[in-house]
Chains A and B, each alone.
Chain A
Amino acid sequence: MIHTHGSSILETRNLNIYYGQKKVVRNVSLRIPKRTVTALIGPSGCGKSTLLRTFNRMNDFIDSFHYEGEVLFEGSDIYRSRTDVTEFRRRVGMVFQKPNPFTCSIAKNISWGPRINGYQGDLDELVERCLRKAALWDEVKDKLNDSGLALSGGQQQRLCIARAIAMDPEVILMDEPCSALDPQSTLAIEDLIHELRENYTILIVTHNMQQAARVSEHTAFMYNGDLIEYDQTSKIFSQPTEKLTRDYIVGRFG
């Protein structure tokens, strides 16, 4: 198991998640250490995306969603604390499976979030800083007022990452961020994740095991709603404890 030196930033305790009658996440207890990259892997439908969406309460939009257990962010329960959910989502950003830039300019895509959340600083400067961090600045600096939809898929996804960074979050959740991208763009995003790990805690759901091995320090393997194994990525991929994990990693199923 993971020994977190320092404190954990996200934690679940005996978490069960249901969609209506169906239990999609079973009794998961997980501690995500600060400033690391953690990968969630497992076959489709194993509950990894559901678990990810629990960390910023995006499941609230599903009517039949309910849960048992605790989800902690910096030690306080995100479903029970009195903090506004929108304030909380500012601190836990998210990048989605398909790039979803807003239908407005590149600059506005980034500045919109900070603006509605009462950001007091210089927005132009913020846009530039975030685009630089997302390794997109050189490609778009001359067309900041063009529509975000005019960019290529990989650029769109980096724009979405820049958009998430602009909120100055502590955690970035990534839900299969490269599944809709070509290998070249995937490489760019993975490089970006390497850069970002110094400042952010990143939780990434991925189908691609090479990707998990490349970008993450810790890996959690889920199967059928259960958390099967959670350990150092190197250990999971070289000598997993569970047979199920080994079978999945060598590609016997999923």
Chain B
Amino acid sequence: MTRLELDTTIGPPRRLTTSEEGTIMDTQEIRSSFAIHANRRRIKEWILTKAILGATLVALGVLLYLVGSVLWDGLPYLRSEFFVNFPSRFPDKAGFKSAIYGSMWLGALTLVFAVLLGVSAAVYLQELAGKGRIQSWIELSIATLAGVPSIIYGMLGLGIFVRFFGMGRSVIAGALTLSLLVMPVIIIAAREALKSVPDSIRMGAFALGASRWQTVRDHVLPAATPGIATGVILAMARAMGEAAPLIMLGALTYVAFVPESIFDSFTAMPIQIYNWASRPQAKFHDLAAAGIIVLLGFLVICNSAAIILRSKWGAKKP
């Protein structure tokens, strides 16, 4: 019995037989060639390991330098005037007020539209839809939209909201465009969150005679909320940083007022930063850096909220 087992596992020794016949070097030679090889292998290993570490450090270094230089250039301009003044031809008088307000308006409206659209679509697709032709069209569309460059969304917004619906270059047109832009991101994140809700919860509710919608509304959605919120926050951070689609809508204008209704024209933080950065004078570049600090500060808050939410939620999951 024991010998039989040994026989079946004796692969390598059998190969040695062929080497004894002279087709390969004998074991002594093989070992010495291993020894010569070992040094080369050790050096190769060392180089590759350092190269990989180097790649990571390069990325971290660039990030540090980027943040550091922006802070260095921009901080001196972050005075109270910067927050209360409107843009100006004179860098010393120029401020960020209309851009901050414009971004707030855009952000708030986009949040409402994008969450409504994105979460509803995700709930429909993940919880309620069957597997029909329309569903596969929807899936295909979402996959396609997720890869469309943001400037093309701007062209869509220009054609549909600005011209066809006659909204002009208004806050609402901008917000609707940004909502469509981040909708695929929210749908994908929300579906992931819904997917991670264990099926036993649904079964438990169905077994009590709940309908699909009752089950989703009262049990699945609440359980998925932290995950959905994380996705929404990250999507909003993206929307707040987008300039290209807004520039397509024609938002790159001198705006020396704060929007008072959704039909007013507007500017936004990334647009104003672009405006300043594209001028040749160095002082405007420093203003751009100050604007970037404000924008990044906002995004950092968003992202940390998402990270905290994710870690708390991750800890709670069974």
Contact = CB atoms under 8 A, between A and B. Distances in A.
Interface of A: 56, 58, 61, 63, 86-90, 93-94, 96, 98, 100-104, 112-113, 116-117, 149, 160, 163-164, 167
Contacts of B203: 58, 61, 96, 100
A16 B12 CA distance: 54
B209 A96 contact: no
B43 interface: no
Given A98-B200, A102-B219, 14 more contacts: A58-B203, A86-B211, A89-B206, A89-B208, A96-B204, A96-B207, A100-B204, A101-B204, A102-B218, A103-B223, A104-B219, A117-B209, A160-B204, A163-B204
Interface of B: 131, 198, 200-201, 203-211, 214, 218-219, 222-223, 318
Contacts of B200: 96, 98, 100
Given A103-B219, A116-B218, A86 B209 contact: yes
Contacts of A102: 201, 204-205, 218-219
B210 to A, nearest CB: 5
Contacts of A149: 318
A63 B205 CA distance: 19
Contacts of B131: 63
29 contacts: A58-B203, A58-B207, A86-B211, A87-B209, A88-B209, A89-B206, A89-B207, A93-B207, A94-B207, A96-B200, A96-B204, A96-B207, A100-B201, A100-B203, A100-B204, A101-B204, A102-B201, A102-B205, A102-B218, A102-B219, A103-B201, A103-B222, A112-B205, A112-B218, A113-B205, A113-B209, A116-B211, A116-B218, A164-B207
A28 to B, nearest CB: 22
Contacts of B207: 56, 58, 89, 93-94, 96, 164
Contacts of A63: 131
A104 B222 contact: yes
B135 to A, nearest CB: 13
Contacts of A88: 209
A90 B206 CA distance: 9
Contacts of A96: 200, 203-204, 207
A172 B222 CA distance: 27
A102 B215 CA distance: 10
Contacts of A58: 203, 206-207
B239 to A, nearest CB: 30
Specify which of B201, B209, B223 lies most central, judged by the most chain A CB atoms within 10 Å of its CB.
B209
A164 B209 CA distance: 10
B229 to A, nearest CB: 15
